[in-house]
Structure 1
Amino acid sequence: MHFWWGDERFVEKSSEERNERQAREALLDHLPVPPENIHPFPASDEIPDIDEAARVYAAELEAFAPEGQTFPKFDITFLGVGPDGHIASLFPDRAGIRETEATVIAERESPKPPPLRLSLTRPVLNASDRIWLVLSGSDKASALGLALAGASYTEVPVAGAKGRKRTVFFVDKDAAVDVPENLIAPSY
Structure 2
Amino acid sequence: MCEATSGVSVSRLKKNLLSKISIPNNHVVAINPSLPVEEAADKYAERLRELFPGDNIPVFDLVILGIGPDGHTCSLFPDHPLLQEQSKIIAPISDSPKPPPKRITMTLPLLNAARCALFVVTGESKAAVLKDILEGHSENPLPAARVQPVKGEVHWLIDEAAASKLTIKVDRASL
So what's the TM-score if we normalise by structure 1?
Answer: 0.81
| Map of 1:52 onto structure 2 | 39
Q: How does 1:122-133 map to 2 (within 5 A)?
A: 122-133=108-119
Q: CA 1:170/1:146 → structure 2, altered by over 3 Å: closer, same or farther? A: same
Among the aligned pairs, what percent are the same residue?
A: 30
Letter aligned with residue 2 of structure 2 = W
- Give the superposition deviation at 1:70: 3.1
Report the Cα distance in structure 2 between the residues aligned to 1:147 and 1:166, rounded to whole angstroms. 15
1:92/1:156 contact within 8 Å kept? yes
Structure 2 residue 17 is the aligned partner of structure 1 residue 27? yes
Question: Residue 42 of structure 1 corresponds to which residue in structure 2?
Answer: 32
Using the TM superposition, give the Cα deviation of residue 149 of structure 1 relative to its aligned residue in structure 2, in angstroms. 2.0
Residue in structure 2 matched with residue 172 of structure 1 by the alignment: 159
CA spacing shift, 1:153–1:62, aligned 2, 3 Å: farther
Secondary structure of the structure 1 residue equivalent to 2:157:
strand
Deviation at 1:28, TM superposition (A): 2.2
| 1:110 positional shift | 1.8
Corresponding residue number in structure 1 for 2:143 = 157
Q: Show the counterpart of 1:4.
A: 2
* 1:57 alignment partner, SS class: helix
More moved, 150-159 vs 83-92: 150-159
Secondary structure in 2 matching 1:169: strand
> Matches of 1:21 and 1:41 in 2, distance apart?
13
Contact 1:8/1:41 (8 A) holds in 2: no
Among 37, 49, 55, the residue aligned to 1:62: 49
Q: How many angstroms apart in 1 are the aligned matches of 2:103 and 2:123? A: 24
Give 1:113's match in structure 2, choosing from 99, 110, 113. Answer: 99
Aligned 8 A contact 2:77 2:83 in 1? yes
- How far did 1:177 drift? 0.5
Contact 1:140 1:175 in 2 (8 A): yes
The within-5 A match list for 1:127-146 is 127-146=113-132
1:64, distance to aligned residue in structure 2 (A): 2.1
Q: Cα distance, 1:4 vs. partner?
A: 3.0
Structure 1: gaps (5+ residues) = 10-16
What residue in structure 1 maps to residue 80 of structure 2? 94
Shift in Å, 1:154: 5.2
Q: 1:135 Cα shift? A: 0.8
- Is the Cα–Cα contact under 8 Å of residues 57 and 113 in structure 2 kept in the other structure? no
- Listed one character per residue, the Cα deviations across residues 33-82 of structure 1 (whole Å, up to 9, x for unaligned) are 332110111222xx2x2111111111112112242x33321111100111
Report the alpha carbon displacement of residue 112 of structure 1 after superposing the two structures with TM.
2.1
**TM superposition score normalised by structure 2:** 0.86
Offset, 1:8 = 4.6
Q: In the TM superposition, what whole-angstrom CA distance separates every residue of 1:94-122 from its partner, at most 9, and x where no partner exists?
A: 11222111111111122222221111101
How many corresponding residue pairs? 173
The offset of 1:20, in angstroms, is 2.7
